[in-house]
Chain A
């Protein structure tokens, strides 16, 4: 299973909030938080094919541009799944993840899994949970991160293998 992970500048290890102007970019390796995912992905016989990153401020100023570019790049690279997040309770990142995730899901054949915390994102979840499979995860510093990552990656595997994930989604997604 080849997974592309979309992260913001903090999770990609490119700095804090002051680096929100980081432009959309990517590397064909596991950066920052994606490296943690890569270790767990190995157990699912998967691999982080690439990490896409985008500063939340840059995204806010260039939403449609970023959505289009990520969607076209996903089409070109053809991963088995695009994982948007984990976003924790960072609201700007969660918004980027949901919007870009939906754009990729509706504009390509690449399945999408999102990981978002409920805290600070209630309205966003209400808007996107019917259209996107968003795995429940804890807020920054909350309990249950390992379990949430396992749920997210298992859902990625199910989607990559084109298995029926209805029960799994109803159990672990919003």
Chain B
């Protein structure tokens, strides 16, 4: 059974894991992730979910204190489309063997070529760029622009369509001339794209990509089925030793990213939060203590299991587990290639996903605000901060308790097996003494 699963899963997982475009999407988002986390902290401070918080700080810092904090968060959140384009072009260029910085530079210029630069207010027309084109709604355009511009750039570089400088010219100057013709080709291509779209009903590439790709894909992604499939596949792959989220994020990260950013913009503006399923939903309300929701597993291992081996491992792994690090239990119990633990390891996140999805749909807990907390934020705290309500923590607590019941019969089976091994081992001396050898 395990073999058969592997035979089907491996080629697909390998293909997705090795696909250069998908890999670059994942790596590209990782480039901008630290900025998002850092600026999220400013946003969170400006909107901390405690009654009286804003008034308290206004009393100390004055009327304009929220603007200071918004300036920091807006510096990233109003430009996520542009930043995605930068990060993905950087990663894609690197993965395609080009100068990463050159790749990122041409991609940003291409993105800006496609961006509308006039703003019409009444009958007057101003030269300006609206941040709506550069923010979350521009993420998919950013992705496509990054990939296409780097491909065109590579097309020219591969054919040596470069201006060669004589020996003795400093490398920086020579490299800049190397990029001249490829850059010109990219600029020309995107100039034509802009002109062509202006002749259609869409008017801009932004409108076209948003209507044809971003809106439908985020609609499909923002569903219980999508979130459940994500967690099922991520956990299933871990059981075979494959880092599941690395594979699933390759496909889902652009979608969840946009959905999270939409929520964040709405939360920041004080509007109704639109989406249930996004990165925060996946990170904060489906797994606790890392992939497979192993914090509950560790709690049983620590409190109920009796075999020395399981208890010792739990003692060592519980503190990292609270912060979402479950490497010791994944490899030490192990979870990898362990058919007994594979079952709850897959079931627990799936059950959590379904319950959280239903609870959020019914409006029992406020939707996630899109603030990107570090993945090491412990559960209960993360539930509170990401929803601004203690109900978020209560949902997490309920699911962690439920996961205890899901894991119990399976870890007990393993525990009993280890206990038998240990009892048999007690009859003979199992410790190997290296001290006198």
Contact = CB atoms under 8 A, between A and B. Distances in A.
Interface string B303-321: 0000001001100110010
Contacts of B309: 13, 31
Given A28-B430, A29-B421, A36 B316 contact: no
A80 to B, nearest CB: 17
B437 interface: yes
Given A32-B332, A141-B243, A144-B14, A14 B316 contact: yes
A14 B332 contact: yes
A143 B37 CA distance: 30
A72 B431 CA distance: 16
Interface string B80-123: 00000000000000000000000000000000000000000000
Contacts of A19: 316
B365 to A, nearest CB: 32
A24 B337 contact: no
Contact of B242 (A10, A29, A143): A143
B332 A10 contact: yes
B334 to A, nearest CB: 6
Interface string A132-174: 0000001011111111010000000000000000000000000
A50 B437 CA distance: 16
A138 B332 contact: no
A50 B425 CA distance: 12
Interface in B244-278: 246
B375 to A, nearest CB: 15
Contact of B338 (A29, A36, A147): A36
Given A16-B325, A28-B425, A73-B434, A145 B316 contact: no
Nearest to B332: A13
Contact of A143 (B14, B431, B434, B437): B14
A63 B17 CA distance: 36
Nearest to A144: B10
A25 interface: yes
A107 interface: no
B332 A11 contact: yes
A13 B333 contact: yes
Give the interface size class of chain A: 35 or more
A127 interface: no
Given A19-B316, A33-B331, A27 B430 contact: yes
Nearest to B246: A141
B328 interface: yes
A10 B246 CA distance: 21
Interface string A10-44: 11111110010000111111011101100000000
A107 to B, nearest CB: 13
Contact of A16 (B13, B328, B333, B336): B328
A73 B430 CA distance: 14
A62 to B, nearest CB: 11
Interface of A: 10-16, 19, 24-29, 31-33, 35-36, 50, 52, 69, 72-73, 76-77, 138, 140-147, 149
Given A11-B331, A13-B313, 11 more contacts: A11-B332, A13-B309, A14-B316, A32-B331, A50-B432, A141-B238, A143-B17, A145-B240, A145-B242, A145-B336, A146-B6
